[in-house]
Amino acid sequence: MRIALVAHDNRKEDLMQWVGHNAEVLSAHELICTGTTGKLVINTLTQKEVPLVNVKRLKSGPLGGDQELGARIANDKIDILVFFWDPMAAQPHDPDIKALLRLSVLYNIPTACNRSTADYIISSELFSNPEYKRIIKDYSKYIQREI
């Protein structure tokens, strides 16, 4: 699985606790992270002494990392999005955040915005079932419409 991990500053510790708790499971997957979150994920997994997985660090969210993840979702290169965002703080790149979440819905990507949902996803039978294929809506009529 290609799992995107993102967290706002006030939620990074929550995400690192989740990553640490699930280190063994995550070590079998490709992790794609925005800037600082990726550095923290590598540190957390190293401390847990699990085999270091393939961790890809993108740009920081405000510097385009959220948009990089959105492009990966649109190009079928992300399977799950774990995005611990901070609902209590204004973000200067809020339009990018909304676009990322919109794309995760548009392309039917399982998305966790809190630990409970992330726990449900990672513990689901479907998480470890390689035969599961998510259904992506056919937008060809939308693309071919006359303007």
Q: What is the pLDDT of residue 71?
A: 97
Q: Considering the entire predicted model, what is its pTM?
A: 0.92
Residue 136's domain comprises 2-144
Q: Which residues contact 60 (CB under 8 A, 6 or more apart)?
A: 34, 35, 36
Q: What is the pLDDT of residue 97?
A: 86
Express each pLDDT in 13-30 by its tens digit.
Answer: 999 999 999 999 999 999
Do 3 and 29 form a contact (C-beta atoms < 8 A)? yes
Assign residue 82 the CATH number of its domain. 3.40.50.1380
Q: Beta strands 2-7 and 80-84: pairing type?
A: parallel
**Catalytic residue list contains 94:** no
Express each pLDDT in 57-81 by its tens digit.
Answer: 999 988 889 999 999 999 999 999 9
Rounded CA-CA distance 17/11 in Å is: 10
Rounded CA-CA distance 73/3 in Å is: 11
CA angle 55, 26, 105 (to 5 degrees): 85
What's the rounded mean pLDDT across residues 126-145? 88
- Considering 66, 79, 86, 119, which one is annotated as catalytic? 66
Q: How distant, in Å, are the alpha carbons of 22, 32, 56, 125, 141 from that of 36?
A: 19, 12, 12, 31, 40
- The tally of domains found in the chain comes to 1
* Confidence grade of residue 109 (pLDDT, cut at 50, 70, 90): very high
